[in-house]
């Protein structure tokens, strides 16, 4: 992961297997390090390997990936689910069922997307 700071500096963060990224107020936590969002102009994933979704330790939701189909099961209907491109553009997500959500990655042209469930964000890839 490459962080671009507002002062022009950059920081490369090696993220193995599944990066855990949390957004909480004005702070982004990557793995165990915290950074103020006001100091970051953008973040990107570069030279990344393919990473498949793994079940989170949080029991409020679970998700799985079968090919390019991502299924998310929510414990509560008020958990927010968002999908972003690596450049930060939010993509539409159809949440017709209040506790179950299915995302077809074939609908998108980007090969790497960020799935945000609650305040946890996971990188997912399209094959």
Tokens representing 111 are: 């090969």
Tokens representing 53 are: 């979704």
Tokens representing 50 are: 């393919």
- The domain spans of the chain are 2-125
Model pLDDT, residue 51: 38
> Rounded to 10 degrees, what is the CA torsion of 10, 33, 23, 75?
140
Model pLDDT, residue 126: 83
Q: Quote the CA–CA distance of 125 and 127 in Å, as a whole number.
A: 6
User: What pLDDT digit, counting tens, does each position of 58-83 carry?
Assistant: 567 888 888 888 888 888 888 888 88
Radius of gyration in angstroms for the set of CA atoms belonging to the chain, rounded to a whole number: 15
Return the percentage of the chain with pLDDT > 90, whole number. Answer: 0
Count Cβ atoms below 10 Å from residue 2 Cβ, excluding itself.
Answer: 13
pLDDT of residue 56 exceeding 70: no
Listing DSSP states for 53-73 in one string gives: ----S-TTEEEEEETTEEEEE
Q: What's phi and psi for 106, nearest 5 deg? A: -65, -15
């Amino acid at each position: 992961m490459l962080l671009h700071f507002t002062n022009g500096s950059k920081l490369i963060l090696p993220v193995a297997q599944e990066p855990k990224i949390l957004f909480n107020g004005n702070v982004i936590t990557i793995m165990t390090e915290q950074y103020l969002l006001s100091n970051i102009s953008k973040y990107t994933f570069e030279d990344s390997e393919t990473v498949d979704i793994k079940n989170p330790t949080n029991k409020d939701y679970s998700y799985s990936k079968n090919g390019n189909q991502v299924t998310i099961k929510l414990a509560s209907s008020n958990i927010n689910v968002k999908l972003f491109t690596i450049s930060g553009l939010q993509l539409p997500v159809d949440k017709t069922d209040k506790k179950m959500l299915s995302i077809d990655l074939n609908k998108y042209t980007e090969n790497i997307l960020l799935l945000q469930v609650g305040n946890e964000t996971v990188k997912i890839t399209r094959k």
